[in-house]
Amino acid sequence: MDDGSKLQPTATRFRWLNLARCTVASVVTVLAVVVIARAVVVLLRPEKLRLSVAGGRVSVSRMPAMKPLPRVNMSFVLRAFNPSGRASIEYTGITVALRAIDDGDAASPAAAAPIIAQFPFPDVPVAQQVAHEAAARVSLAAAEDVPLRYVKALFDGRGISAAIQVDGFLTTRMEIDGRISRSNGGVATTFYCLPVTIAVGDGDDDESRTRNTWCLDKSDVPAFVG
């Protein structure tokens, strides 16, 4: 009887000790899961793609005459930078719209400005912490693709103050254990680059070579751009 009474407190202490150990192990497991989940969220969080228009300019080739109606040959360079050290970014399915901001209401957003021209743009793949340049060179029909009032302004040597609306899909990719993991299936993303000058000539002056126009993500400034 005495031996049994002495063993009972010892057994109880062991049960409590085991329970405490299980509780600590469970807490540690939960914390580890939380830390891992947080790390995955941070690693796969989309980074902001930084876009700019080289020289803040869309260059137009000289047109010899207005009759017959000329082709309007335009070109510009879009520069992209991926600040992420973890993930690569692809901006695909891109469409560009040139909007005449000096023709619209000054109080209206850029998204409401009249369209000068609209055309597809090459995909922009950008690796981690890398800059990428993509060029657009398009030949558009006067009147059909570009309203005549803008063709006439360019033919007369007048520049057009514009905004470039860039619509596309952003996909973030990163490598985990040697495999490529896609964090999303492509998020519809719109940028507005303004102000930009559309003018005849290459813009070879020093200022145009160094002054870039940065593009704003619509989600960052919705009231300003639309």
Q: Are 73 and 60 in contact (CB under 8 A)?
A: yes
CA nearest neighbour of 64 among 159, 202, 200? 200
This prediction's pTM? 0.74
Q: For residue 30, how many C-alpha atoms fall within 13 Å in the half-sphere facing its CB?
A: 6
pLDDT in single tens digits along all 226 residues of the chain: 555 555 455 556 556 666 656 665 554 454 444 434 444 444 445 568 999 999 999 999 999 999 999 999 999 999 999 998 888 899 999 999 999 997 655 555 677 899 999 999 999 999 999 999 999 999 999 999 999 999 999 999 999 999 999 999 998 887 666 555 556 668 899 999 999 999 999 765 544 455 899 999 887 766 555 5
Q: Are 101 and 194 in contact (CB under 8 A)?
A: yes
In angstroms, rounded to a whole number, what is the distance separating the alpha carbons of residues 62 and 150? Answer: 14
Alpha-carbon distance values, 89 to 4, 85, 130, 224 (Å): 71, 11, 10, 26
In angstroms, rounded to a whole number, what is the distance separating the alpha carbons of residues 177 and 50? Answer: 28
How high is the pLDDT of residue 218?
80
> 48-225, what's its fold?
Immunoglobulin-like (2.60.40)
In angstroms, rounded to a whole number, what is the distance separating the alpha carbons of residues 172 and 189? Answer: 12
Alpha-carbon distance values, 132 to 54, 169, 173 (Å): 12, 17, 16
In angstroms, rounded to a whole number, what is the distance separating the alpha carbons of residues 105 and 49? Answer: 29
Q: Are 73 and 139 in contact (CB under 8 A)?
A: yes
Q: Among all chains, which residue has been given the structure tokens 């993930």?
A: 87
Burial of 30 (0-12, 13-18, 19+ CB in 10 A): exposed
How high is the pLDDT of residue 71?
97
How high is the pLDDT of residue 22?
62
Q: Are 95 and 120 in contact (CB under 8 A)?
A: yes
